[in-house]
Amino acid sequence: MQEQRESGLYDVDLAVIGSGPGGYEAALKAARIGMKVALVEKAAPGGVCVNWGCIPTKALLRSADLFDELPKAAVYGVHVENASFDLAQAVKRSRNVVLKLSKGIEFMLGKAGVEYRQGEARLSDSHEITVVRQGAPDSVFSARHIIIATGGRFRELPGLKPDGRHIITSREALALKEVPRSMLVLGGGAIGVEMAWFYAKAGSKVTIVEMMPRILPLEESEISEALGRSFEKAGIEIITGAKLEEVVCSDGSVHGVILREGEELRQALADLLLVAVGVAGNAEGLGLEEAGVEISRGFILTDDQCRTAVPHIYAVGDVRGGMLLAHKASAEAAIAVAAISGNPLAALDETKIPRCVYAEPAVASVGLTEAQAEAAGYRVITGRSMFAASGKANAYGHLEGMVKLVFNAADHRLLGAHILGRSAVELVGEIALARHLEATVEDMAHTVHAHPTLSETIREAAEHALGQ
């Protein structure tokens, strides 16, 4: 093998470890420009995103959204009687969606000529990969370049190890057989918020416990506070600035104590506890450190081209850290493959990456919040527009929501944009493009939008920033 490497010959040009959005995108892009590519995946094609994350979550949320609309149907002249929520059927549909997409990814990889190897990958050295199946080495091959795309896993807290029955992660929450009577959700980030909304609409009594002062603490405060009010109207209890401690499981329930500064201890009791407190990178057990790859706090360290301390090894997606988003992983895959091919792309700017939360009302944003912009030294101007003033929102009966735009007062360029409301996640493309192109408030205010559409609220928010 050493002689093979010295002669410059390798079994493949690129080995990709992991088949999530970062992994399969990297493999496809490399294969399409003529590289010989092998991809190693220990589970189903598509990684966590397709199989236990983005896709099944959104499929379930669609079921809850339809069910939530039924009580309002009579207002529209549509009469529905005796509606009920069938969790088993909703889960079955979500798994069918997952299976279709996973098989689709496997088909695309095969069509592109990517060699697909099932098993766990371990680096024997910086160029050699051993594929392990059922605990034993199955095959060994060498690669000129390697991309690590092993994703992340749910972070565990001391004393709150998931048992799959009473203490669960969102993975188990995606496949429950029955709707629990009550659920505690620890963590008010995107995953916690989406799961809380789904199970509340399915019939659970849901309580969110969040350590920070508000749910979605990294989003624009006006947006997350408005979402909190909407959740409370929907019967979801939100306890912020709080910790959950002394958790025990007994008598088929979860018992705990909620600690909130300045208040008396509060007893917590629920059928289930969903722990949604963040993600850790899947960087261990791969032989990376022995190969010279640097890891810090569970994430692989890279430069802005996704290159690790070992020049021919790259990392993309959640295992690299930063914003833990599927579309960020895909963008990093493009950067890594371009760097390997000798045609580097510009580094990724996280202020130009959209963020979405798929509850109802939904949240979508890109760039800086007003507070973040001011903390960075900008003098800002802001504009707002309410969905309640939109003809389309009124026609469809979804009045809840708003658009907030944040501009640099010095040159009028967009610094951040934030949307709350139905279809927010579909509107985010426009504001992401505006942020990418560094559009000005005038650009956005003078863009003609179709009427009646929700996208008009973006133009109206820009007009508001101009005082029009």
Task: Tell me the catalytic residues.
Answer: 451
DSSP, collapsed to helix, strand or coil, labels residue 395 as: helix
Number of other CB atoms surrounding residue 377 within 10 Å? 6
Q: Cα separations (Å) of 305 from 119, 212, 261, 282?
A: 27, 33, 44, 20
Token output for 261: 């500064």
Residues 6+ apart with CB under 8 A from 452: 390, 391, 392, 395
Amino acid occupying residue 286: L
β strands within 57-175, DSSP E: 115-118, 120-123, 128-133, 136-148, 152-154, 167-168
Task: Return the C-alpha torsion angle 367, 373, 375, 376, nearest 10.
Answer: 80
Strands (E), 272-400: 272-275, 279-281, 295-296, 299-300, 313-315, 355-357, 363-367, 380-386
286 forms bridges with which residues in the sheet?
Answer: none
- Distance, CA of 268 to CA of 272 (rounded, Å): 11
* Cα angle value 117/123/124 (rounded, 5°): 110
The residues near 154 (Cβ < 8 Å, ≥ 6 apart) are 162, 169, 170, 171, 275, 276, 278, 279, 280
Q: Quote the crossing angle between the two packed helices 190-202 and 54-69, to the nearest 10°.
A: 40
Instruction: Give the integer Cα–Cα distance in Å for 235 and 222.
Output: 20
Site of tokens 């005082």: 467
What type of residue sits at position 361?
Answer: P
266-270 β-sheet, strand order? 242-250, 253-260, 266-270
d(CA 276, CA 172): 12
Q: In degrees rounded to 5, what are phi and psi of residue 159?
A: 80, 0
CA dist 58 and 190 (Å) reads 12
CB 296 within 8 A of CB 128: no
Q: CB under 8 Å to 314, separation ≥6 — which residues? A: 145, 146, 147, 148, 302, 305, 306, 307, 308, 336, 339, 340
